[in-house]
Structure 1
């Protein structure tokens, strides 16, 4: 269960930064970074949505940032109050440019009351000026990036209303969805509020309506994925699983994503987003099967075979295959479709990438689980050798070492005939090395060694008898 996070005041944070500058002779940015890391290591959250590390930026940048924001915000507030749309437009553009210079600028702007001023500009633009509305959304998106607490109930409702009323305007939709994405990252309450307000059908609808717009499809897919996150440390648990179910069952999310993928066969960036979101939505056995029934498996295997040069896309496809392989029938379907050969080929081609190696081993590991015939195909296809080569290539990467150990264990758990073959490839030494180097590999390494028939010292930590536990 997650614990509520402790927070610190601006004064406490300021004092820590001053101490780093004055006593330890750190530069301003180093002093801020050190203070943040110090408080986080102690379980405190510096609450960057309310603190202003801008105060410690190098003098010229700090002064320009302060002076610029004070003037822009004053002018913007006055122009909105007097209803001067042209001036509002120019000031929103300047504000947006300032926000993009440095994240500290956004924090300072929030402290100086930028949000209610932007909200007023947004309401002014919503009366009918689409160009001004786009600028207001862009400015709001820049401001709340990294500080989603700023968005209040009124702002959330306006976002949903804007998406609903301007569903045909691709640029407005894209900017509005970007606001939603920034508002929901690491903010469970905003996610739940937006879902209750009906944002999910608007997101899936945007993908369908603007199926040829790479920007809209990318942003909407990303936003849908964030709705399934459980990344807000301030709440004990979130609604990630429920949101995934709603996206799939009530809004046809899987079909929407798979159909969208067909429209972008030559766009790795969009395909990466779609595959990543797909992997986050397949949280139930029937959802995994639905991906296959909708033709998604064929698309994933084809992408892995034909887009091998795009490393990030390969990683996301592997992640999606790993997710849908949670269904035992889908495991067999992936193998029949040539998935194991494509996975091994991807790992071999991108052996220098620890992320691809980890995802490849993880996908093969799931395919081999409780499936002796799949294990045979993987071993005969070079899967065990590729995993061991990955262990050699990335000895310091705990994720690679752990997934490779788990794969080796699954390959031999129900197929002992492969043990000697894998041992002859040098598996024992690599697994022992992983066990020594990474505490996270202790249990999986011992399980792999045990099932390979190697000697492993197993300690009986508890016998079920009353009394003190043996050390």
Structure 2
């Protein structure tokens, strides 16, 4: 019999599992414990992942419980919020169940629920905890962030995220979250760039006094992710000409060029090159920004602008650092 270990797991909702348990109890006169055991056996034999399913009819999964409390809480007292965020962190750090917990959070718009609370949070420690929780929630799960219909709620969600990036909460975790949600996800990149993220990132970099020490590297890492064509699903589709038209394939790759063009139009070259002259003593930061420059140099026009801005004069300085020679 072939092993199913490497096969993709299927998922069901808590409601589907509970319905199966109730059917076992009603139709086969099972007690709850036996009905649950039978349901688990049925679903697991079909390759269903039950890691996010609570095996009891009257118990709510901790992720759902915490997010529902956060969503319903309208008080100014942030103690309750802090407690629920800690509960979420515990779920996302669980080595066994974290993947399923994140998937479950995405099913009920967990990132949106957290972002709705962020602007009103006054306590610095709670704000940092919220951002850290959001970071944990979307890490390796970028698809749960913005893959929603284009409606009023999602547009408000995007605008709210734009406010966060616009220096209102210049904590490095915001930038890390931004990188996580855009990595290998063209949908998220497109929606965020269409709501002004590029301009805000450039403004944030220009006004570096708002950024914590070492934060410019985080900005560079976000820009690099935005300018990478790294969505493996889109690349795969674009390579299979029998399924999509030549025009559609070209569109997927043009979007990355459009993002680069927008960064250039917002003056990122003129902002970055003078900065590189003074950051050569920090190899990690220098490496990140050189990776950005490399991504920008994907069109002939951008290459000309880089040369005009003096990039060639800086190369000898860059080459003194073995850590960044492969990029330069």
What TM-score, normalized by structure 2, do the two folds share?
Answer: 0.67
Other-structure match for 1:78: 69
Q: Tell me the residue number matched to 1:145.
A: 139
Residue 187 of structure 2 aligns with which residue? 189
Distance in 2 separating the partners of 1:129 and 1:65 = 35
In the other structure, the counterpart of 2:164 is 162
Give 1:92 shift.
Answer: 1.4
The RMSD of aligned alpha carbons is 3.5
Q: Specify the alignment match of 1:20 in structure 2.
A: 3
Counterparts of residues 379-390 of structure 1 (less than 5 Å): none
Larger RCO of the pair (alpha carbons < 8 Å, separation 6+): 2
Q: Is the 8 A contact 2:221 2:288 kept in 1?
A: yes
Aligned length in residues: 261
| Separation in structure 1 between the aligned mates of residue 292 and residue 135 of structure 2, nearest angstrom | 22
Q: Measure how far apart 1:205 and its partner are.
A: 1.4
**Would the aligned equivalents of 1:159 and 1:176 in 2 still touch at CA under 8 Å?**
no
Cα deviation, residue 118, structure 1 = 4.7
Q: Within the alignment, does 1:35 sit opposite 2:7 as a pair?
A: yes
Partner residue of 1:179?
177
- Which sections of structure 1, spanning at least 5 residues, go unmatched? 1-15, 22-30, 37-45, 57-61, 318-471
Q: How does 1:19-418 map to 2 (within 5 A)?
A: 20=3, 31=5, 34-35=6-7, 70-82=61-73, 83=75, 84-102=77-95, 105-111=98-104, 116-129=109-122, 131=124, 132-152=126-146, 153=154, 154-164=156-166, 166=168, 169-171=169-171, 174-210=172-208, 213-232=212-231, 233-234=233-234, 236=249, 237-238=252-253, 239-248=255-264, 250-305=265-320, 307-308=321-322, 310=323, 313-317=324-328
Cα distance, 1:219–1:158 mapped onto 2, change above 3 Å: same
Distance 1:81 1:293 in 2: 55
Counterpart in the other structure of 2:151: none
C-alpha spacing 1:292/1:147, structure 2 compared with 1 (3 Å): same
**C-alpha spacing 1:138/1:66, structure 2 compared with 1 (3 Å):** farther
Q: TM-score, normalised by structure 1?
A: 0.48
Alpha-carbon contact 1:210-1:217 (below 8 Å) kept: yes
